[in-house]
C-alpha cells in the first residue's frame, strides 16, 4: 500500500505546479500524457530470426575461437604464502 500512497503524493506534487496553467496548456498536457500512454502500450516483438547473422566473417568458428584464446593475456601475479 505504500507505493499507492507514494504515487498519490507524487501526483499531488505535480498537480501543485500544474493547477495554475491556463486551459490550453492543460489540454495540451493531457494530450501529450495520453499519447505517451498509448506509445508505452506498444510492445515491439523481436523475431528470433532477427538475432541470427549479426556477425559476418570468412573465418570458421574454430578459427575465431583459436584467435580469441591466443589473444588472451594473463598478467596476474600470485604471491606465495
Task: Please report how many Cα atoms fall inside a 13 Å half-sphere around the Cα of residue 20, on the Cβ side.
Answer: 4
pTM over 0.85: no
- In a domain, residue 51? The reply is no
Are 67 and 59 within 8 A, CB to CB? yes
- In a domain, residue 45? The reply is no
By three-state DSSP, how is residue 11 classified? helix
Per-residue pLDDT tens over the stretch 13-36: 888 888 999 999 999 999 998 988
What DSSP line would sit under 13-72, residue for residue? Answer: HHHHHHTTS-HHHHHHHHHHHHHHHHHHH--PPPPGGGGTT-S--SS-HHHHHHHHHHT-
- In a domain, residue 63? The reply is no
Residue numbers of the domain that contains 7 = 1-39
- In a domain, residue 47? The reply is no
Domain count, the chain: 1
Per-residue pLDDT tens over the stretch 51-71: 776 677 889 989 999 999 999
Amino acid at each position: 500500500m505504500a507505493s499507492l500512497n507514494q504515487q498519490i503524493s507524487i501526483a499531488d506534487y505535480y498537480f501543485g505546479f500544474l493547477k495554475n496553467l491556463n486551459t490550453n496548456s492543460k489540454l495540451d498536457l493531457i494530450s501529450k500524457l495520453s499519447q505517451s500512454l498509448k506509445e508505452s502500450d506498444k510492445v515491439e516483438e523481436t523475431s528470433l530470426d532477427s538475432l541470427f547473422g549479426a556477425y559476418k566473417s570468412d573465418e570458421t568458428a574454430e578459427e575465431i575461437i583459436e584467435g580469441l584464446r591466443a589473444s588472451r593475456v594473463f598478467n596476474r601475479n600470485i604471491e606465495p604464502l
